[in-house]
Amino acid sequence: MSPGLGAAVAGRARRDPSGAGRSADGPLVAAGGRAGGPLMSATVPHPTALRPGKALSIFDPVFIGIDEFGQPVYLPMIYRNILIGGEPGAGKSGLLNGVVAHAVCSMDCKLVLFDGKQVELGQWRDCADVFVGPKLEQALSVLRRLQVMMDRRYTYLLACKRRKITPRDAFLPYVVAIDEIAYFSATIGKKTDREEFASLLRDLVARGRAVGIIVVAATQRPSSDIIPTSLRDLFAWRYAGRCTNDSSSDIVLGHGWAQKGWSANTISPTNPGAGLLIAENGSPRMVKVAYLDDNTCARIARHAADLRADDRDTPVRHLAFAA
Closest residue to bound ligand ATP by CB: 273
Q: Which is nearer to ligand ATP, 26 or 65 (CB)?
A: 65
208 is in an annotated binding site: no
CA–CA separation, 240 and 39 (whole Å): 18
State the number of CA atoms in the 13 A half-sphere of 145 facing the CB: 15
- Contact at 8 Å (CB) between 103 and 60? no
From CA 255, how far away is CA 151, in angstroms rounded? Answer: 32
DSSP three-state, residue 295: helix
134 is in an annotated binding site: no
Of 204 and 267, CB closest to ligand ATP: 267
From edge to edge, which strands make up the β-sheet containing 62-67?
Answer: 72-75, 62-67, 285-289, 274-279, 237-241, 82-85, 213-219, 174-179, 110-115, 130-132
Nearest distance, CB of residue 122 and ligand ATP, angstroms: 13
If the CB atoms of residues 181 and 289 are measured against ligand ATP, the closer one turns out to be 289
Cβ closer to ligand ATP: 59 or 114?
114
Residues forming contacts to ligand ATP in the complex (CB under 6 A) are 86, 88-94, 220, 241, 272-273, 289, 291
Q: Give yes or no for a contact between 110 and 175, defined as CB atoms under 8 angstroms apart.
A: yes
Q: Is 122 annotated as a binding residue?
A: no
Say how far apart CA 216 and CA 214 lie, in whole Å.
7
Total number of residues shown for the chain: 323
Q: How far is the CB of 243 from ligand ATP (least distance, A)?
A: 11
Please say which residue, 35 or 42, places its beta carbon nearer to ligand ATP: 42
273 is in an annotated binding site: no
116 belongs to an annotated ligand binding site: no
Q: 33, 46 in Cβ contact below 8 A?
A: yes
Question: Is there a binding annotation on residue 98?
Answer: no
Q: How far is the CB of 183 from ligand ATP (least distance, A)?
A: 11
Q: Minimum distance between the CB of residue 12 and ligand ATP, rounded to whole angstroms? A: 25
> Minimum CB separation from ligand ATP for residue 263, in Å?
17
Indicate the annotated binding residues for ATP. 86-93
Indicate the annotated binding residues. 86-93
